[in-house]
Amino acid sequence: MESSVVGRTFIGEGAIDALAARRSDANWTTAAAASAVDIALWDLLARSRGEPVWRTLGGRSDRVRVYASGGLYRDGDGLDELRAEIAGHLRAGFRDVKIKVGGQPLVLDIERIRVARAAIGAYAALWVDAVNQLSAADAIAHAGAYRDAGATALQAPVPFEDIATMAALTRDVLPVGRDRKDAGFGQSPPHWLLETNKRC
């Protein structure tokens, strides 16, 4: 990645997206490092325009709703541990949370969603993240159950390229949030991110 960045000049959104496109198939460690570079480049672009990053990205406010990401599957952890983790997020000042789904039988994920919903209350956003593990058929079958158990939105339910299933889920069941890689590059600023945030 160093050769793609050091000594180069990045002017405008297109240059940032061009760099991102070249590393879109990188392994996860490179992609994680690239995220830091991506953030820095958007910050640099905003500074060059004399405006805050949120405005460069197309936002209309200097405030954004955030969530605490957690609720992973851990050996030996059950519902009590999930409750305790979410209670910690609430104490830290978060009101919205995201938990993992899709890696256990549906009935167990539904229990986890219900516990999370009870912990954060009726009005907070509860994201569930399947990390692209579901088939299209399972995503469609499970999304309604996630919603009925208390999920507000679903992140990365199916493989990146299955845009049709994600669109169908968003239209018919739950809003689907996608990682920048999911959405494809060349979208500057990333309006899909702002739209997903607004819908939740």
Q: Is the peptide bond before 190 cis (omega within 30 degrees of 0)?
A: no
Domain residue extents for the chain: 2-56, 67-199
User: How confident is the prediction for the chain on average, in pLDDT?
Assistant: 82
Summarize the confidence of residues 65-81 as an average pLDDT. 92
pLDDT at 180: 44
User: With 60 as the cut, is the pLDDT of residue 64 above it?
Assistant: yes
User: What sign results for the dihedral spanned by CA atoms 59, 178, 119, 171?
Assistant: positive
Q: Strand order of the sheet with strand 153-155?
A: 67-69, 96-100, 126-129, 153-155, 176-177
pLDDT at 115: 98
Summarize the confidence of residues 122-149 as an average pLDDT. 95
CB 173 within 8 A of CB 147: yes
Q: Classify domain 67-199 by CATH number.
A: 3.20.20.120
Distance CA 1, CA 118 (A): 44
Summarize the confidence of residues 97-114 as an average pLDDT. 96
Give which of 56, 34, 38, 58 is closest to 47, Cα–Cα: 56
Distance CA 163, CA 173 (A): 15
pLDDT class for 60, splitting at 50, 70, 90?
Answer: confident
User: Lowest-pLDDT range, 5-9, 53-57, 110-114, 174-178?
Assistant: 5-9
